[in-house]
Structure 1
Amino acid sequence: MLADGVLILSHCGYSFVEDLVAAIGQRQLQAYVLSSRPLPEHADRIDALRALAADAFATDAHELSTQDVERALALLQARGVRVRACISVWEGYRELMAHANALLGVADLLPARVATLRNKLQVRNTLRAAGLSSRTAHALTPAVLRQLQESGSAHFVKPMFGIASYGAFRLTPQTTWASLEAIADEARADTVYASALGARIEFIAEEYVSGTEYSFEVLVAAGRRFVVAIHEKCELTEANGTVLEDSCTSPPVSLSPSECTAGIAWLEAVFAHLSLDWGCFHVEARFDGKRWDLIEINPRVGGSLISPSVKALNSEANLLELWLGVLLEQREAQLTEQLARLAYGEQGDAPGTNATFFRVYFASPGLIEDISLKALPRTPVVTQVLLKAGDEVDPASREVFLGQLLWSMSRVERDAELDTMLAASADAIEVRYRLAEPALGA
């Protein structure tokens, strides 16, 4: 008898594998993991994955290829496994996931559409031409950089194919071509992130999008789009050459139902224009009080605590579980019934009565001497401290996660306590870095 399973594509042994294995197990399916080679400091990670999943395979390279995925599918099928779908939360493998699903006959985004969607220059200017964005993007060259700086208008710089806010920052008169080349050199030397940024690391500059920032968590099945959460970004910080998203709450506190309706209608038009008919999307956008505009569209689950936040909101399923449903239940009316029940209504009303707040903590360069969690007025429902004493954080033009905390409560409680939670949680994870040794003779 054939065994039914799902193939997980893992980058260097990670990429939410534990969460995916749990979600696959809930459906009484076997989880199989194909991973690129872990970093040397995580050499035992594949053994841990083999203990967690039905089986795990690692390649010799730090990046998976199309051939790796095809070989893994053939191997599993030769062993009698019926692979029901392929899934990956690592954006650099989203095209590989789409390729695998095409081979398996599973409806998903076309691989070419994934590649187009990840090109931030093309997406921005396509939407501008269609009247769905009011901003223009430019491919950066030394001459274009000078022209934009001389214009005095506000622009934002980011890699054409970006991830983890790598090299994303506001353009200033002090920005130089040499500083962009230094970020590109740093990215090429970053074993984990280099492949996701593209073989040639190119930068774009787009007109700055003003307003409060939100993320839409969207599931799409057969062209039907369901917004299952809208997160408001309470705090954004620029640090170490990138932009950090410190805290989020859902449902948003700054939007009326009619403004949510307008945002969802704009989102529908964007998805229709880009022919995004299947999948899970994390869409970042800003609203200036009059108009919605795009920051970026990610063809995957949102990072940090977005997925568990969705489950805390609906008390039923997180984003990974819902995305698996889209992949596995494509012909079942039950899927769209569930998504419609968990999604925003036609009047812009959020489903349920729950609210969430989460905060992400970022590390600074240096050697961590001590790290601890403070007592808080309200206990988090999810606590993740990702680094430990003895870990050394290298300088990087991207976000480096220290930890994250998620709180769940009623909307009434959230509205009454949000300001208190923002203040109390700001330094909830306390970290002390070792001071540099004084130079001899100082």
Structure 2
Amino acid sequence: MSSDAILERMMSFHPKIIDLTMDRVHRLLAAMGNPERHLPPVIHIAGTNGKGSTQAMIRAGLEADGKVTHAYTSPHLAWFHERIRLAGELISEPALTALLDECVAQNGGEEITFFEITTCAAFLAFSRVKADYTLLEVGLGGRLDATNVVDHPALTIITPVSIDHQQYLGETLPEIAFEKAGIIKRGVPVIIGPQDDAGLAVIEARAMKVGAPVLAFGQHWHVHEEHGRLVFQDENGLLDLPLPNLPGPHQIQNAGAALMALRHLGASPAACEAAVTKAFWPARMQRLKTGPLVDLAPGVELWLDGGHNPAGGQAVASTLARMARRPTHLICGMINTKDVRGYMEPLAPVAETLRAVSIPGEKNTLPAEVTCDAARAAGIRATVSGSVAEALSEIAAVEPSARVLICGSLYLAGTVLRENG
């Protein structure tokens, strides 16, 4: 069977897509000989926004120093293989298929969620291939996430925490911060990115309770933009670096957390520069320069972003506001568990129009009409389009040199990346 066929079968192993508990993961890992105990040193990253970008920067820095890294991230955009990077390379189809087969056999027909069993597969892969570090991104929350089985990581990182996934993590910022802080381990340093005061208090309280040394933004390290450069400072001194190649002012704070991690790990100055100049992370204000969609509207400046919560909307709006002035139009599709209006409101001042679409093949898509209504309520001129391609053609017909941002969901971003080659 292909990996796609096995993955599709795995979706039926548990009636719920998300069910936050650790019991099933511990059971399967024990059956496989506890591979999570045999990983290269782990850097565990939680947070609401910025986890993936921070991980990508750390990886770029470590690899510039000649280090070999495993990396685990979710969700994938175009293909599942993106989730598991083995010794610097995306996992191959034969290796993935064999791993999934092994995990299915060891699971023995017991209930387990898709994310849990595929996370176990990643641990099994990482335990069998030599590397210097394992970069591990939390799937959802932290305390009860399937990745939170490593007893003594080398380092933990908590990127900015904001309101998202309330149905699983709690309605208030302190409740959500408590779940994220669950990755903090006794005696293991924790790097804390910029936080609201209420969230920071919860995170620091957890660190104090378990005796984890804290390296917090604004206290132990600082980062800002100055004269078109990134300036980072910690107790070891100052770094004057190029701005991150990942676009957007929010990437300054992500770079700060990554640089703090690299400095803590003893990385070279060249590695720190590589972290901000060589990282790649798709669908985070990614410029699309080739492909069928680009060919459809060759004069349009086409961008793609997968942010989907109010903080993500604010980050996108800040990025657009700093770009050279150009009429900007949005093509937006979202899923039905998000704060749609909260995402839209920061975008109203920077968007000329919005064309709402439903996400193809996604059962939890918000109907385009509902997305359209939310955009209008947020003060954006909005209409409904049948597809991304149709929306892009409509915009190009009226304003052939416009800036167009496809946004609102990682699921939509994945569809676009697949269809655009």
More strand by percentage? 1
TM-score of the two chains, using structure 2 as the length reference: 0.30
TM-score of the two chains, using structure 1 as the length reference: 0.29
